[in-house]
Structure 1
Amino acid sequence: MKKTVLEVKNLFKSYDGKRNVLENISLEFKEGELVSVIGSSGAGKSTFLRCLNKMITPSSGDILFNDESLMKAGKKDIKKIRAKIGMIFQHYNIVKQLTTIENVLHGKLGQMSSLKGLLGLYTESDKKEAFELLKELGLKGHEYKKCGNLSGGQKQRVGIARALIQNPNLILCDEPIASLDPQSAKVIMDILKDITEKKGITCIANLHQVDVAMKYSDRVIGLKNGKILFNGPPSKLTKEIIHEIYGAKNGELIVDETDSLDTSNKVVA
């Protein structure tokens, strides 16, 4: 039986003390599981994801990461916990003026003292690992290129390498393919699937594209108005449930206008 990496208990979040953005969310996430979170804009997906590493502090409830409570953790403990939780962003969150290798090594900052991090005193082992990750992700030869000169798909792979160098147990992905063309998006989703299957790392990804969530996920969570409307395997996600998650107008599904992935061939982004 697979280990529970993350457990969310009765999670509530309100920004104004009146309306709940998240309401009574209780979920478990297993080791090596790829879970997609779907829902329309304003459903609470980004708030939910950012609560999981306490980038946003929940109003109530608890989050247990490797059996350790984020809600009870102090600043030093939170830093240690976050060091084992990677984060991948829609707009990459990289430093464009720095090189690819420098951006990847930034993933080690959470495991270093402030002084060493400020001076960039990475070990030879850290540097070797960064080079190996870039090679693994198809970025060999781009190590010393400025990240601002890379394509969108390449930037996102730098973001993935930066997350992986943390040696995380969990990776949170906030719309990781929303800014990419369909072919580049397919490459990123293939990589995320590979990470969960071969490295045993749990990935939780907010996605707008329902078809992508159904193709790649072990499990799909559907949010509507901050509540769980669906939690189960893609095979159980019917058209009727999708309509309920997103709402319907004149019998047509209302979903964000995004391209489906081109699955005809594998192209390097």
Structure 2
Amino acid sequence: MITVNHLHKSVDGNKKKILKGIDIQFRQGEMIGVVGSSGSGKSTLLRCLSLRDRWDQGDYTWDDANVIRGGGRGSQKYRSKCAYLEQNPSFYPEKTALKNVLIGQAGQTPWFRRLTGMVRSDDYMGAMDELERFGLIDKAHMKAGNLSGGERQRVAICRALVHGAGFLAADEPVIGLDPHSAERVLKTLQTLCTDHNKTVISALPIELAEKYCTRIWGIYDGQLKIDVTGRRLTVEEKRAIDLI
């Protein structure tokens, strides 16, 4: 169980409040869709939950351990368990998909690997296993710059798993993708939850959240207005988060 109490987040020297007292709980294996109008606070919520942004106030509890009160070292310990998937994942475009998975994101890469490029055989096999699992084995030695948008998103997911993430926060992971690629990415995320007991929280268009997610959070003006099991939202619920 992961519990969030009284999450507040501001920007511009605390002049602009983005999140205003968020209280939520979620478990491993859930696929949660975050919906709301532009500027409602969806992206900031994902960045706070994945510990990419510092909280102004609040308690964040994982298995009875308070992540925020643990200070910098406590946050760093749990930060390694989280992956934040951007709309357009950053890669080394001239390196292969496999190399990008092995290298990881900037904060994940050991200094000796950055200098030498050397990897252990176990790491290599683990990366290849993940690429095969998500239908990318034939892309392993292709340069990342030549991958399609949907392929890059799936490579980013593989990269997160290889580096130990158990919780993925995905910010609009299918924006700009064609329907087929979007479906494949979302089914990949579903598989992580159903088959591997990972937690995925993703900002999505409402129709995709209704179709693919087991739970939906509706955000409006920095506040959690809706928390329901995955289903079609009612007219009243959509109106509550300014989506009608």
Contact preservation (8 Å) 2:50, 2:83: no
Structure 1 position 154 matched with structure 2 position 160: no
Amino acid at match of 1:128: M
What is the CA-CA distance between 1:118 and the residue it aligns to?
3.7
Quote the Cα distance in structure 2 between the aligned partners of 1:140 and 1:21. Answer: 41
Change over 3 Å in CA distance of 1:77–1:114 after alignment to 2: farther
Change over 3 Å in CA distance of 1:108–1:223 after alignment to 2: closer
3-state SS of 1:246 partner: coil
Aligned equivalent of 1:9:
5
Aligned equivalent of 2:225:
229
What is the CA-CA distance between 1:106 and the residue it aligns to?
2.5
Aligned equivalent of 1:239:
235
Aligned equivalent of 1:256:
none
Quote the Cα distance in structure 2 between the aligned partners of 1:121 and 1:129. Answer: 15
Aligned equivalent of 1:27:
24
Q: Deviations over 1:97-139 (max 9, x none)?
A: 2110011112387566433444333211011010111111111
Amino acid at match of 2:99: E
* 110-119 or 149-158, larger mean C-alpha shift: 110-119
Where in structure 1 do 4 or more consecutive aligned residues deviate above 6 Å? none
Change over 3 Å in CA distance of 1:65–1:107 after alignment to 2: farther
* Paired-residue identity, %: 34
Q: RMSD of the TM alignment (CA)?
A: 1.9
TM-score, length basis structure 1: 0.84
Change over 3 Å in CA distance of 1:37–1:160 after alignment to 2: same
Which runs of no fewer than 5 residues in structure 1 stay unpaired?
248-252, 254-269
Contact preservation (8 Å) 1:9, 1:26: yes
Aligned pair count? 243
Structure 1 position 175 matched with structure 2 position 172: yes
Change over 3 Å in CA distance of 1:210–1:112 after alignment to 2: closer
Among 53, 74, 78, which residue is 1:81 paired with? 78
Among 39, 64, 72, which residue is 2:61 paired with? 64
Change over 3 Å in CA distance of 1:188–1:222 after alignment to 2: same
Quote the Cα distance in structure 2 between the aligned partners of 1:220 and 1:213. Answer: 7
Quote the Cα distance in structure 1 between the aligned partners of 2:105 and 2:19. Answer: 32
Structure 1 position 139 matched with structure 2 position 140: no
Contact preservation (8 Å) 2:211, 2:231: no
Quote the Cα distance in structure 1 between the aligned partners of 2:3 and 2:161. Answer: 22
Quote the Cα distance in structure 2 between the aligned partners of 1:18 and 1:109. Answer: 31
Among 90, 99, 104, which residue is 1:107 paired with? 104
What is the CA-CA distance between 1:64 and the residue it aligns to?
2.1
Structure 1 position 45 matched with structure 2 position 38: no
TM-score, length basis structure 2: 0.92
Change over 3 Å in CA distance of 1:79–1:122 after alignment to 2: farther
Contact preservation (8 Å) 1:108, 1:165: no
